Chain A
Amino acid sequence: MVVKIKGKVFVFGDNVNTDEIIPARYLNTSDPQELAKYCMEDARPGFGRRDDIKGSIIVAGENFGCGSSREHAPVAIKAAGISCVIAKSFARIFFRNAINIGLPIVELKEADEFEEGDIAEVDLENGVVRNLTKGKEYRIRPYPEFLMKIMEAGGWLEYCLKEVGE
């Protein structure tokens, strides 16, 4: 698990749903690199094809990833090179999909204090998010122990094979 992440912030709003993250018209494939090209397409057209998103951080409002169960949504974000998603809250299925595939996600009530272009730093080990541009620091609630184990293994299937596989 990557414990310290630093990147440029791209800001999105509330209720960003999986149809906006990866529209169904691109779901006739499950190839991560194909999906990455259309990441966030209906929230911000062309986002997935920008060359400055590698290593960046998506910051959003409430209920990020609501809607469909399509794992293609976190897969597209991860494959596009986004290093972390910070949101005020996450929809349940997106949350478990991100944990399962090892995409770092952070719940932060003060997510709306970030502005486009700020540099954010996420320290998962110490439970801290920093806005390096604004010089602010926020404490984050640690993951429940069970989810931490999945994250540490690098994802659900890695955990399965290690811990519970027969």
Chain B
Amino acid sequence: MTLAEKILSQKAGRKVEPGEFLLLEPDIALANDITAPLAIKKFKEYGGKKVKYPDRVVLVPDHFTPNKDIKSAMQVKMMREFAREQGIEKFFEIGRMGIEHVLLPEEGIVKSGDLVVGADSHTCTYGALGAFATGVGSTDIAGFYLIGKVWFRVPESIKVTLRGKFKDLVTAKDLVLKLISILGVDGANYKAIEFSGPGVKEISMDGRFTISNMAIEAGGKTGLFPVDEITIAYERERGIEVEEMYPDEDAKYVREVEMDLSELEPQVAYPFLPSNAKDVSEAEKERIKIDQAVIGSCTNGRIEDLRLAAQILKGRTVSPDVRCIIIPGSQKVYKQALKEGLIDIFIDAGCAVSTPTCGPCLGGHMGVLAEGEVAISTTNRNFVGRMGHPNSKVFLASPAVAAASAIKGYIADPRKL
């Protein structure tokens, strides 16, 4: 069995096959300030009085928070009141919240082997822990509130075998951008992506979260890593004991891809699809001027990402033509960055540092682009209008490339600074 089949079989209490439909009770059901209000309204509309499993419900207001306008404030108010009325303890108020997919693993709320649904497409992030985690809609969440169940189709899997080691300043982000360019934006539609091979142990937990996070950008239902000694150590820090989990030798895959980490270069994904990746050395030749650099998000807002950005920005200054916005993914990440002196480095370099929020990634607030503006961003999507005006552009890259570009004022190779 593949990892996806193993977890779903365990939850179903019998061996399941790809293509089967299942009704299962997830361990965790997540929603945010955009998707929860719709779920709450539906729950009430369909006669919901008492949430079936309040201890499995997680509510994180992270997209338009701290509230960007009155309407957003009303949305969060609805979530807050719902949490109080239903006795939902995992509602994360401003000051304690983080970007949901940084926060949940960090707090040990999601763990290896769990079945997790979230009304947020990047819920697939927890696949890094070896959890079957996938994005669903608000109606699915409302259904979970009502009856504690969600429907699933058991996915086929794509196996990605990793070998070698990353070269200096090449990261997990570069790996996943390259992978999406190989698979295409719908290459993994309805399927799970499963990572394996000797290269897996070369990738830290923070790196694995970045990779699993972007499985959805290839259409993937989730992006699963095996549970190995790195995962076990991460879980143990949170007081969680888990066992190793690998796919079976005879597991069946619909497609196999091999990638050598040592052959990768830093990548830049051009507008308007995450699959438009090019080597940064090629991109640099084009002298693409940028107006903004964003370093953060559920993709790259963890401590290793900030360390990498600080390594590049230390003792240098951001181009006077660029706004560089750095957003730690959670309060813990923020505090750790303060402790390590990273925030000093950022401020001395001329960066703005923000409280955790999804903000600019989806053109919400905290760095919306004007007409004709160009951003380099460590976020996950570069669709038309994603970060603001429909005639603005977003290039996706790693924290190293984003930081180097912020200094130069154009998309630049961090290895040549």
Which residues of A are in contact with B by a Cβ distance under 8 Å? Answer: 15, 17, 19-20, 23-25, 27-30, 42-43, 45, 62-63, 66-72, 75, 89, 91-93, 96-97, 100-101, 144, 146-147, 150, 155-157, 160-161, 164-166
Contact = CB atoms under 8 A, between A and B. Distances in A.
A15 B273 CA distance: 9
A93 B186 contact: no
Interface in B362-389: 362-364, 381, 383-386
A91 B221 CA distance: 10
B37 to A, nearest CB: 5
Given A63-B219, A69-B137, A93-B136, 11 more contacts: A17-B381, A24-B364, A30-B75, A42-B384, A70-B35, A92-B189, A92-B219, A155-B139, A157-B146, A160-B147, A160-B149
Given A71-B137, A97-B139, A160-B147, A63 B71 contact: no
A75 B39 CA distance: 12
B296 interface: no
B407 to A, nearest CB: 29
A110 B37 CA distance: 37
A18 to B, nearest CB: 8
Given A63-B189, A89-B186, A97-B139, A160 B71 contact: no
B390 A42 contact: yes
A17 B35 contact: no
A101 B34 CA distance: 17
B147 A23 contact: no
12 contacts: A19-B383, A24-B363, A27-B64, A30-B138, A42-B390, A69-B136, A70-B35, A71-B138, A93-B136, A93-B137, A146-B151, A156-B151
B331 to A, nearest CB: 24
B189 A91 contact: yes
Contacts of A43: 384
Given A45-B390, A68-B121, A93-B121, A164 B136 contact: no
Interface of B: 21, 23, 34-35, 37-38, 41-42, 46-47, 63-64, 68-69, 71-72, 75, 118-121, 123, 135-140, 142-143, 146-147, 149, 151, 153, 185-186, 189-190, 219, 221, 273, 362-364, 381, 383-386, 390
Contacts, number: 139
B120 A20 contact: no
B149 A164 contact: yes
Q: Which 7 A-B pairs have the closest CB atoms?
A: A28-B71, A97-B137, A71-B137, A63-B186, A146-B21, A100-B139, A24-B362
Nearest to A63: B186
Contact of A157 (B139, B153, B185): B139
A27 B34 contact: yes
A45 B38 CA distance: 25
A100 B149 CA distance: 14
Given A19-B381, A29-B71, A63-B189, A72 B140 contact: no
Contact of B185 (A15, A25, A161): A15
A69 B71 contact: no
A29 B33 CA distance: 10
B37 A19 contact: no
B35 A71 contact: yes
Contact of A92 (B34, B221, B364, B385): B221
Given A28-B72, A45-B390, A91-B186, A19 B384 contact: yes
Contacts of A147: 21
B219 A66 contact: yes
Contacts of A69: 35, 118-121, 123, 135-137
Residue in B38, B75, B364 whose Cβ sees the most chain A Cβ within 10 Å: B38
A92 B121 CA distance: 10
Contacts of A68: 120-121, 362
Contact of A67 (B71, B146, B147, B381): B381
B385 A23 contact: yes
B356 to A, nearest CB: 18
A144 B75 contact: no
A30 B39 CA distance: 10
Nearest to B149: A164
Given A66-B185, A160-B146, A166-B147, A28 B64 contact: yes
